[in-house]
Amino acid sequence: MVEGGVVKADKTEFTECFKTLGKTPYILRLAFSAGIGGLLFGYDTGVISGALLYIKDEFKDVDKKTWLQETIVSMAVAGAIVGAGLGGWLNDKIGRKPTIIIADVLFFIGAVVMAFAPAPWVIIVGRIFVGAGVGMASMTSPLYISETSPSKIRGALVSTNGLLITGGQFLAYLINLGFTQVKGLGDGC
């Protein structure tokens, strides 16, 4: 409930939103490109559930020790806490766009580190990098979108970040589903 009762959107507000986007498609492209941080956030939260099955096949220590599995999964959250705090500071010091780029680079570095990890501790380091990137992006992307959006459609464009987060989770689960029929590396494939 809002002060004064329930607020209902009428057709003219939706029409105004689509007209504005139709006149300036750059704004929508900007919102989606800045929202890539949300997509990466959603993808990372969803993909670890499927990846952990293959990590357990590859590293027997991870299969035997649940605390190691928990650490691998949770280190992204720990990195996100640090990344969100650092992201706020970087937003003030160097601006929104460079901070988003740094967040995406951190995510990329973490993904590469995890892809070539020779031991579980290296996966944990990669998850910290990924988490830092996710934390920065989840703090910076909605802020950047809101600051660059016209006031009439600001709420709709900021919500694209939430849409991309759930879209990233959906994409991750589809990829996990695709890998359910793939034999693990330890099976001699």
Does the pLDDT at position 186 exceed 70? no
CATH number of the domain located at residue range(s) 33-180 in this protein: 1.20.1250.20
Q: Where are the domains of the chain?
A: 33-180
> Whole-model pTM?
0.81
Rounded to 5 degrees, φ, ψ at 2 are -110, 160
3-state SS class at 2: strand
Give 62-90 pLDDT, tens digit per residue: 889 999 999 999 999 999 999 999 999 99
CB atoms within 10 A of CB 130: 28
Which of residues 187 and 56 earns the better pLDDT score?
56
CB atoms within 10 A of CB 40: 25
DSSP letter, residue 61:
H
Give 118-158 pLDDT, tens digit per residue: 999 999 999 999 999 999 998 999 999 888 888 878 888 88
3-state SS class at 128: helix
Q: Where are the beta strands (DSSP E) in 72-188?
A: none
The model's confidence at residue 14, banded by pLDDT at 50, 70 and 90, is: low
Does the pLDDT at position 54 exceed 50? yes
Strand partners, 2: 5
Distance CA 188, CA 183 (A): 8
The model's confidence at residue 189, banded by pLDDT at 50, 70 and 90, is: very low
